[in-house]
Amino acid sequence: MKFNHICIIGLGYIGLPTACMLANKVVKVTGVDSNPDVIKSLIDGQVHIHEPGLQEVAEKALHTGGLHVSDRPVEADAFIIAVPTPFYDDKKADLSYVRSAAEAIVPVLCKGNLVVLESTSPPLTTQNIVLPILERSGLKAGEDFQLAYSPERVLPGQILRELVENARVIGGIDEASAQAGKELYRIFVKGEIILTDATTAEMVKLMENTCRDVNIAIANEFSRLADRFGVDVWEAIQIANRHPRVKILNPGPGVGGHCISVDPWFLVEAAPDLTPLIRTAREVNDAQPEFVVTLLERVLHGVKGKKITALGLAFKQDVDDLRESPAVEVVHNLVKAGAVITTYEPFKTGFQIEGVTAAKSLEEALAEADCLLLLVGHTQFRSLLPSTIAKTTKARIAVDTVNGWKKDEWQAAGFDFYRLGDRKSKPE
Ligand code: SAJ
């Protein structure tokens, strides 16, 4: 199949890098987004998300003319849907963006086209939701056009490399659709391309993220156990991981982001009777911010009225994404408990949380604190020198929830040092 023109719907964390990759491979790409601000900033040559290297590849794609942006799909050889699939308050999948994207393709869908859904979706979405919408065009899936599901599996912070190098799964509604998908992604994917059916590909994606969520949940439970039994969980994990068949992940303030904290719910929603473990893991991870608050209540002898500087709000280190961030949840809970919070998020200094002071600089954030609370292991925070910090703050208590700081260095600089899951550092 020949792909001269590809239309990508959704220019977010996945759609935009994918559009740039394709456009820089001398394919004409139309990037579509319903948000006028996104379109405007791209026309001005500005990328609206922080992802290492993305600004440069986007500039190239926009300047060489391979990438055009538009507020609606246009006729093309292939369509890639890369829109968000959030969840509602009751944890049920919100497929409205997927539906709207498929509906927007209907008027421009032509014989011989390929449509690929990339958005993480509950099992059977391609077959039972996207396919019938596309057939409203009067064309028949598998005969007149091809349809596949291919999940994105890249890690924020390393998207450009992983898009090219990772193995890619492509599930077709039939073999020809999977094969067409392979030809499309071969334009830029160097990793292995594995073909299967659409529903298996949907399940694969959900299984990967659910597996990670369950494994982080057990690490978080270990942190609570270590706290109770006077153990340093980080030391214990390091030792346990010397076993050739054990690989315990890292505990922390909780699990965030738009993937791992959301996707397992799609399986719970699809089959609640079959998923008690998956549900429990989600609940364990969602409760971890409260565990951080309990830790602070203990080390500060109550948080009410205490001035705490929260370092980092992103959902994980070195990204600017605050979606479902456990750090934000910790701050909310501390505010509720009466603490006086200043936040500093270097990747989004303007981000405001109600009842909280958002510092513009590290200096401003540190000055008046009673306690420094490390919530995200940004490289910038990991490399802070406690001896220098001691001169810029009156705080003499440091609490590390991500194992980002060295206990002995902070203690040597005169701080009382506490770490999540480490009751060895200061048992009481
Ligand atoms: N986290 C821990 N402990 C760990 C690892 C992560 O608490 O040991 C936390 C992070 O701090 C963060 C959350 O989990 O809050 C998720 O971070 P992550 O780095 O595990 O994953 P994401 O959400 O950035 O990306 C995941 C990846 N999936 C897997 O590794 C199985 C990525 O490959 C997927 O493409 C992405 O989800 C997605 O889009 O679905």
Q: Do the beta carbons of residue 132 and residue 98 sit within 8 Å?
A: no
| Closest to 1 measured CA to CA, from 114, 94, 83, 89 | 114
Q: Residue 238 corresponds to which amino acid?
A: Q
Pseudo-torsion of CA 220, 221, 223, 228, nearest 10°?
Answer: 160
Report how far residue 331's alpha carbon sits from residue 387's, in angstroms, rounded to the nearest whole number.
26
Report how far residue 232's alpha carbon sits from residue 327's, in angstroms, rounded to the nearest whole number.
22
Report how far residue 263's alpha carbon sits from residue 123's, in angstroms, rounded to the nearest whole number.
11
Ligand 1 atom at minimal distance to the Cα of residue 14: 39
Cβ of 249 closer than 6 Å to ligand 1, yes or no, is yes
Site of tokens 């994207």: 101
The closest residue, in CA terms, to atom 3 on ligand 1 is 250
Dihedral angle sign, alpha carbons of residues 173, 19, 38, 48: positive
Which two three-digit tokens encode residue 305?
Answer: 């009225």
Cβ of 14 closer than 6 Å to ligand 1, yes or no, is no
Which two three-digit tokens encode residue 348?
Answer: 């989004």
Which two three-digit tokens encode residue 410?
Answer: 């902070």
The rounded Å distance from CA 45 to ligand 1 centre is 29
The closest residue, in CA terms, to atom 29 on ligand 1 is 209
All CATH 3.40.50.720 domain ranges of the chain, comma separated, are: 5-198, 218-419
CATH number of 218-419: 3.40.50.720, 3.40.50.970, 3.40.50.620, 3.40.50.450? 3.40.50.720
Residues identified as active-site: 205, 259
Which two three-digit tokens encode residue 240?
Answer: 């346990």
342 φ, ψ (degrees, to nearest 5): -115, 135
Report how far residue 296's alpha carbon sits from residue 418's, in angstroms, rounded to the nearest whole number.
9
CATH number of 5-198: 3.40.50.720, 2.60.40.290, 3.30.300.30, 3.40.50.620? 3.40.50.720
Q: Do the beta carbons of residue 29 and residue 6 sit within 8 Å?
A: yes
Report how far residue 374's alpha carbon sits from residue 398's, in angstroms, rounded to the nearest whole number.
8
Burial (CB < 10 A; 0-12, 13-18, 19+), residue 416, is middle
Cβ of 216 closer than 6 Å to ligand 1, yes or no, is yes
Q: What is the DSSP string of 393-416?
A: -S--EEEESSS-S-HHHHHHTT-E
The closest residue, in CA terms, to atom 9 on ligand 1 is 255
Residues in the chain: 428
Report how far residue 215's alpha carbon sits from residue 221's, in angstroms, rounded to the nearest whole number.
10
Ligand 1 atom at minimal distance to the Cα of residue 152: 35
Ligand 1 atom at minimal distance to the Cα of residue 256: 15
| Closest to 308 measured CA to CA, from 418, 427, 421 | 418
Please report the pLDDT score of residue 87 as a whole number.
87
What is the best residue among 316, 329, 330, 402 to mutate for testing ligand 1's pocket, by most ligand atoms within 8 Å of CB? 316
Quote the distance between the C-alpha of residue 330 and its chain's center: 18
pLDDT tens track, the chain, 428 positions? 789 999 999 999 999 999 999 999 878 999 999 999 999 999 999 999 889 999 999 999 999 879 999 999 999 999 999 999 988 888 899 999 999 999 999 999 999 999 999 999 999 999 999 999 999 999 999 999 999 999 999 998 899 999 999 999 999 999 999 999 999 999 999 999 999 999 999 999 999 999 999 999 999 999 999 999 999 999 999 999 999 999 999 999 999 998 999 999 999 999 999 999 999 999 999 999 999 999 999 999 999 999 999 999 999 999 999 999 999 999 999 999 999 999 999 999 989 999 999 999 999 999 999 999 999 999 999 999 999 999 999 999 999 999 999 999 999 999 999 999 999 855 44
At 263, is the secondary structure helix, strand, or coil?
helix
| Closest to 354 measured CA to CA, from 331, 385, 322 | 331
Cβ of 342 closer than 6 Å to ligand 1, yes or no, is no
The rounded Å distance from CA 313 to ligand 1 centre is 16
Task: Give bridge partners of residue 307 from the DSSP assignment.
Answer: 340
Cβ of 250 closer than 6 Å to ligand 1, yes or no, is yes
The rounded Å distance from CA 260 to ligand 1 centre is 6
Q: List, in order, residues 6 or more apart from 5 with CB less than 8 Å away.
A: 27, 28, 29, 30, 75, 76, 77
The rounded Å distance from CA 412 to ligand 1 centre is 34
Sheet holding 371-374, edge to edge: 357-358, 340-344, 307-311, 371-374, 397-400, 416-419
The closest residue, in CA terms, to atom 37 on ligand 1 is 259
3-state helix, strand, coil split of the chain in percent (to 5) is 40, 15, 45
Ligand 1 atom at minimal distance to the Cα of residue 250: 8
| Closest to 259 measured CA to CA, from 220, 315, 317, 314 | 315
Report how far residue 210's alpha carbon sits from residue 63's, in angstroms, rounded to the nearest whole number.
40
The rounded Å distance from CA 174 to ligand 1 centre is 31
Please report the pLDDT score of residue 425 as a whole number.
57
Q: Residue 75 corresponds to which amino acid?
A: E
Task: Give bridge partners of residue 371 from the DSSP assignment.
Answer: 308, 397
Cβ of 402 closer than 6 Å to ligand 1, yes or no, is no
Cβ of 237 closer than 6 Å to ligand 1, yes or no, is no
